[in-house]
Amino acid sequence: MPYPEQMVAPMRAELVEMGVQELRTTSEVEDFFTVKEGTFLLLVNSVCGCAAGSARPAVALALGNDQRPDRVATVFAGQDLEATALARDLIGDVPPSSPSFALMKDGELVHFVPRHLIEGQDADAVAANLTEAFAAYCNSHAKG
Amino acid sequence: MGTFHDNRGDLHGITVAVFTAETVYVGRCHEMDDQRLLLLDVDQHAEGQDGRTHQEYLERAAKFGVWKKHDQLMVPMPDITAVKPLGEFYRGVGKPAPAPAPPPASQPTVSAPVIVGDDPVTMTEAAREEVKRLLAEEKNLGQGLRLGVAGGGCSGLVYNVEFDSHKEGDVVIPQDGFEVYLDRKSIIYLRGIVLDFQSGLGGRGFQFNNPNASNTCGCGESFAV
């Protein structure tokens, strides 16, 4: 059962304010996944304080690198149920996990960070995992 | 490392691999005590299942997570040989997974066991400080203190106390600055024991207070159960 929207609104805002595109409906998910070329990071957000509390700030830290995905989006597990289910289907054959990160390149899953690699970690540790993946799979977005 | 609800133990909320002689269970640790460990959202793997060794299964599980077979599963503590956070099997981005096969299931020594629940042995502050002092004084003693029992003495069993390093199959109890090593055969005799250190006029040395002992000799160096 979804939490009251007032409770999760700050958790949505935290990501939106850092430029992450929120996908709340299946049509928004479909549109986002339609573009296959390039790289994108999808965060499956959740209310879990012990894991998502590190996952959200880790996005901001990791996106500070020159090498980063072309696009970043999020769905909210337990809240936007249909959008999350569709996004999980489109990621590929990995067990559902929230919070979690999926890094996609040219339509294929190239890196996944399940919940157990987030729980008990601080944001820096989670960001380090993402940064390593960005370095391996993403282009530089350095200016000039 | 724990998350919320600290009263449920350090591993509460952490996804762990629980090793028994035949099976590895992967799930989120919910509660544990002397009797059992309760896991949530659990998968399980038998050695060789789906053509994978435990090691291969765990490395894949660490990378992608697991499809749960059980909402909840209770593992009796006596069956457990080791508990490790699943994240310890993660090999990182793009790194090939090394594939050394773990030992056969009949020899469950795939990892240095970590004590969960109540430690079988506790130390007083005086004992801890004395161990640290001795280890600091003599660098070649090892990384910790080995406790065990052996036959002998006027009451049937004697305690062994020596400085040593970790050996395969040890149960390890981390302390502040060193480790305590127990061999598995000794645990049933040592469970509940309190190791103290006395430095007064009545004698100087380590002293065992053993709730399992039905009879203790006068010097305290041997006991019966």
pLDDT: which is higher, A116 or B173: A116
pLDDT greater than 90 at residue A99: yes
Kindly report, as residue ranges, where domains of CATH 2.30.30.100 are found in chain B.
6-89
Assess whether A50 carries a catalytic annotation.
yes
CATH 2.60.300.12 domain extents, chain B: 121-224
Contact B64 A133 (CB under 8 A): no
Could you tell me if B179 and B164 are in contact, meaning their C-beta atoms sit under 8 angstroms apart? no
**Range scoring the smallest mean pLDDT among A75-79, B70-74, B107-111, B120-124:** B107-111
Q: What is the band of B222 on the pLDDT scale with cuts at 50, 70, 90? A: very low
pLDDT over 90 percentage in chain B = 19
Average pLDDT over residues B141-152: 72
The shortest C-alpha distance from B84 to chain A (Å) reads: 12
pLDDT digits (tens, 9 = 90+) for B173-191: 878 788 888 877 676 667 7
> B211 versus B164: which is more confidently predicted?
B164
Residue B156, sorted as left (phi over 0), alpha (psi -120 to 50) or beta, turns out to be left
pTM: 0.62
Q: Check pLDDT > 80 for residue B87.
A: yes
Residue A115 at interface with chain B, using a CB cutoff of 8 Å: yes
Coil, helix or strand at residue A21: strand
CB contact under 8 A, B62 and A112: no
Task: Measure the N-to-C terminal CA separation of chain A; round to a whole number of Å.
Answer: 48
Q: Where are the beta strands (DSSP E) in chain A?
A: 21-22, 39-45, 71-76, 100-105, 108-113
Q: Candidates 3.40.30.10, 3.40.640.10, 3.40.920.10, 3.30.1360.120; correct CATH number of A5-135?
A: 3.40.30.10
Q: Is the pLDDT reported for residue A79 higher than 50?
A: yes
Helix (H) / strand (E) element for B149: namely: strand B144-151
Chain B residues in contact with A97 (beta carbon < 8 A): 65
Question: B6-89 in CATH: which number?
Answer: 2.30.30.100
Q: What is the ipTM of this complex?
A: 0.85
Question: For helices A49-62 and A123-137, what crossing angle results, to 10°?
Answer: 50
What's the gap in Å between the CA of A57 and the closest CA on chain B? Answer: 17
pLDDT of residue B5: 43
Chain A residues lying within 8 Å of B90, measured CB to CB: 117
Which distant-in-sequence residues (6+ apart) come within 8 Å of B71 by Cβ?
A: B40, B41, B42
CB half-sphere exposure, A102, CA atoms < 13 A = 28
Class for the domain spanning B121-224:
mainly beta
Answer whether B64 sits within 8 Å of A111, measured CB to CB: no
Separation CA A50–CA A120 (nearest Å): 7
From A22-36, A94-108, B6-20, B63-77, the region with the lowest mean pLDDT: B6-20
Judged by phi (left if over 0) then psi (alpha if -120 to 50, else beta), residue B205 lies in: left
